[in-house]
Amino acid sequence: MKLTLGFSPCPNDTFIFDALIHHKIDTEGLDFSVDYQDVETLNQNAFGGKLDITKLSYHAFAYAASDYELLDAGSALGFGVGPLLITKSEKLAAQLRASLSSGDTAGMDGLRVGIPGKYTTANFLLGLAFPRLQNKQEMVFSDIESSLLTEQIDVGLIIHENRFTYQEKGLHKVVDLGDYWERETGCPIPLGGIVIKRSLDQEIKHKVNRLIRKSVEFAFANPKSGLDYIRSHAQEMEESVMYKHIELYVNAYSVNLGSEGRQAIQQMFDKAVELGVIPPLKKELFLTRA
């Protein structure tokens, strides 16, 4: 049986799925047709139910939960892994940090903000921390740093490998929104998860979850096995940066969410519903455990 599978070309995703799609583990009769896309394209595709299995942002999952349910394997959660709000101006960075501490956000309305997508979890967290930053411009995540340097935007919300490179370009951190979330809730930050079509047979859903878990476990046991594959999709990233990226986003929660991971995700959704950021959810989020 062949299933369609979408994930990003970023090192954390290619690290997770290498063993699965290249049959380094027994795939139990399943084959996968892979669609590589940036996170916001994956989100938009999920809204249309385009793929059988897909990576998406947790924020976007709120709008796709009628068609998909969340697997326990493959997620990106953790402490100290949040998106960063950055700027070219050291003075503006200091002003924004002070406003976050004081709660006085007057004068922010006109700031131009580059975001990696409306439905990214990064944008959701930005809305919690800086609700008055509404002058947002959606762009491909890899273009945000250059847009800051050319002053097309005033502040930028960066994700993925850019968190390792922005300082080299003379840019300044305002806040790590993951740290902000952790201080507010005490929970790890849910960034992205792997969802599967509700319409698929229950046995297939559990098989896919089991295979993704085995793929992650294989990657941890053989971390260099997929190096050529990971590098081929990593936008000329240095190997050391690739593995920093992987270490940051792939961890025990990627093997299995467990009760702590599920609790963090549920808390995020409960908070978002409470604030009116997303509509009330009518379906159970998580795949029923086998």
Catalytic residue of the set 22, 23, 59, 160: 160
CB distance 171 to 151 below 8 Å: no
88 pLDDT tier (thresholds 50, 70, 90) = very high
Note the pLDDT of residue 289: 76
CB distance 70 to 34 below 8 Å: no
Q: Residue 150 pLDDT more than 90?
A: yes
Q: Which of 105, 191, 80, 192 is nearest to 155 (CA)?
A: 105
Q: Residue 186 pLDDT more than 80?
A: yes
What phi-psi label fits residue 56: left (phi over 0), alpha (psi between -120 and 50 degrees) or beta?
Answer: beta
Mean pLDDT score, 89-108:
83
Q: What is the pTM of this model?
A: 0.82
Q: What is the CATH number of domain 84-185?
A: 3.40.190.10
55 labeled binding residue? yes
Give 1 or 124, the one with higher predicted confidence.
Answer: 1
User: Rounded to whole angstroms, how far apart are CA atoms 227 and 232?
Assistant: 8
Domain with CATH 3.40.190.10 in the chain: 2-77+189-274, 84-185
The CATH class for the domain spanning 2-77+189-274 reads alpha beta
Note the pLDDT of residue 238: 83
60 labeled binding residue? no
Question: pLDDT tens-digit profile of 251-289?
Answer: 999 999 999 999 999 988 888 888 777 888 888 999 987
Q: Is 160 a catalytic residue?
A: yes
